[in-house]
Structure 1
Amino acid sequence: MIRIEIVTERTKLRLITLSDLDAIHELHSLPETDEYNTLGIPVHIEETKSIIEPWIKENQLHEIKNYTLAIETKSEGKFIGLFGLKIGNKKYNRGEVWYKIHSDYWKKGYATESLRAVIDFGFETLKLHRIEAGCAVDNIGSIKVLEKAGMIREGRSRQILPLKSGWSDNFGYAILETDKRKNN
């Protein structure tokens, strides 16, 4: 099994395992974390299991193309969210990030800290050229996280996200390996 650990000042990111099922199900079941997410709230834990099993299988491949990481507090080892990094076609040498943080940990800098670490991992370890992200235009919290981490808003896609509230526009963000990265 491949072991990946990305450590920040307050967090540790590691590949998810089936032992994370209960915590991931709780995270996916929170209405506030579902508001800007296209996944939807799972009906039962078996639905969550069917969602994460392919992620776990992907994490076990020799060459991972879709990293799914658990975010834990470094001090207590408490699960506080998920982070994803999907690697695109090798020719374009880019990845796309996504994250979902438990609402108890919002507005505390955990998402920004984790995003900066994953950006560093993408550029320094995976040697990516470009890392992208998207978020609903009304998701102010996520917009702040992306911009604090140094990502640049590049555009707007109209009515691309099927949210519970209806179709939403999406802001596209990116950072290049040559861009100056923010560390604080």
Structure 2
Amino acid sequence: MNKYKIDSGRLTLRAIVEKDLLQVHYLHSLEEVDQYNTVGIPENLQETESILQSWLKEHDTQNTQRFTFAVELNTDHQFIGLIGISLGKAKYKNAEVWFKFDPKFWNKGYATEALKELLLFGFEELRLHRIEAGCAVANLGSIQVLEKAGMRREAHTRQLLPLKSGWSDNYGYAKLASD
């Protein structure tokens, strides 16, 4: 996995590493970030460490099915978020993307920039045919990011997401290699 590093104009997407533990824990602990997330706020640092270790273990396999990237600013290498892609069945050549960013860096175009780079990685490096994403219907920020990155809304699934606030409907988005 360490060979995977993606540079864009303002950002670097690099493989998650053990030293990211405190930043990941901080990000996962923010109420604003958790509002539309199904993972929930970790009870302690050990819970975050368990998540991080599962990501690292997945990166060590020959047939990696999940790629989790730390997103950093190119100017000072500051950790600003996470983004990932999980592969589906090989025959279908599809995957699902997700992202989480520190609210201090919302509305600056960073999530859109990172997602565009991850989509390129999926289509060019991983040779995927279709990349999907989902988000709560009330998550207007993520909806904007998905649409600005060129993904199309294809579905509205009722009460799919178990959020802290209750069951939420989900919008399904996708982009094809041919788009």
Could you say which residue in structure 1 is the equivalent of 2:135? 135
Q: Does 1:65 align with 2:65?
A: yes
Is the 1:94–1:129 Cα contact (8 Å) retained in structure 2? yes
Structure 1 residue 132: Cα displacement: 0.2
Could you say which residue in structure 1 is the equivalent of 2:93? 93
Give the Cα separation in 1 of the matches to 2:24 and 2:141.
21
Task: Look up the SS of the partner of 1:168 in the other structure.
Answer: strand
Task: Look up the SS of the partner of 2:91 in the other structure.
Answer: coil
Root-mean-square deviation (CA, aligned residues, Å) is 0.8
Task: Look up the SS of the partner of 2:92 in the other structure.
Answer: coil
> Counterpart amino acid of 1:55?
W
Could you say which residue in structure 2 is the equivalent of 1:47? 47
User: Scaled by the length of structure 1, what TM-score is found?
Assistant: 0.96
Is the 1:96–1:131 Cα contact (8 Å) retained in structure 2? yes
Is the 1:2–1:60 Cα contact (8 Å) retained in structure 2? no
Could you say which residue in structure 1 is the equivalent of 2:36? 36
Give the Cα separation in 2 of the matches to 1:152 and 1:107.
20
- Aligned residue pairs: how many? 179
Structure 1 residue 63: Cα displacement: 2.1
Give the Cα separation in 1 of the matches to 2:16 and 2:47.
17
Task: Look up the SS of the partner of 2:90 in the other structure.
Answer: coil
> Counterpart amino acid of 1:81?
G
Give the Cα separation in 2 of the matches to 1:2 and 1:101.
22
Structure 1 residue 33: Cα displacement: 0.3
Q: Does 1:19 align with 2:24?
A: no
Give the Cα separation in 2 of the matches to 1:125 and 1:18.
25
* % same residue: 54
Task: Look up the SS of the partner of 1:118 in the other structure.
Answer: helix
